[in-house]
Amino acid sequence: MGMQLTDFAEPLREVAPFKFALDVPPKPHPAFSLYVLQITPKHGLSWIKAIGHDVKTSSYGLELKGAFDAMEGKLKNTYGSSTRNDFLMVDSIWNEPKDWMMALLKNERFLSSVWDAKSGAKLTEAIESIYLGASGSDSDTGYITIEYNLKSGAQADAEIAEIQDEVL
């Protein structure tokens, strides 16, 4: 938490305002292909997102659900209990089991777990919350992501808003 751009051995690529891609982290995990960091001038590193490799799956999403369940199990072993959300939006037309991936792709289905104070997770001093989510790339491909929200996140978000509002 708080690391600045100059603290990284390799140069980072800016992919969005205050968001930087890290291709080779100090401790990479084989399930992830890209890491994105939020780094602000005052608060430094405040958020880390790991983006998983593509998972080829059926329209039922079985392989993606399996990858999600496996990672959820690993995170539970480390951080304890979480709150899981697995739901389909009311009135979605993608409501059959074979429509699982299409509903995910259309943002009408959600599969996620959150580790935070409410869930009773055992987080480190620096981590505010952890989010694990499943996303669709197309009707037969998806990926998982993990977001680590650090305790400085709210201050960093306020800093970003202030910097962006200065141009108004």
pLDDT at position 25: 84
Torsion 12-124-41-157 (CA) sign: positive
Whether 112 and 132 have beta carbons less than 8 Å apart is answered as yes
- Structure tokens that stand for 33 in this block: 């292909």
Determine the Cα–Cα distance for residues 108 and 89; give it in Å rounded to an integer.
5
Q: What average pLDDT does range 127-148 have in this prediction?
A: 97
Q: What average pLDDT does range 149-167 have in this prediction?
A: 92
For residue 27, what pLDDT band results from cuts at 50, 70 and 90?
confident
- At 134, give phi and psi (nearest 5°): -110, 140
* For residue 10, pLDDT beyond 90: no
Return the number of other C-beta atoms located less than 10 Å from residue 166's C-beta.
7
Q: What average pLDDT does range 22-48 have in this prediction?
A: 92
* For residue 112, pLDDT beyond 90: yes
pLDDT at position 123: 96
What is the number of alpha carbons within 13 Å of residue 102 lying toward its C-beta? 9
Amino acid sitting at position 164? Q
pLDDT at position 96: 94
For residue 8, what pLDDT band results from cuts at 50, 70 and 90?
confident
Q: What average pLDDT does range 46-58 have in this prediction?
A: 96
Determine the Cα–Cα distance for residues 19 and 78; give it in Å rounded to an integer.
27
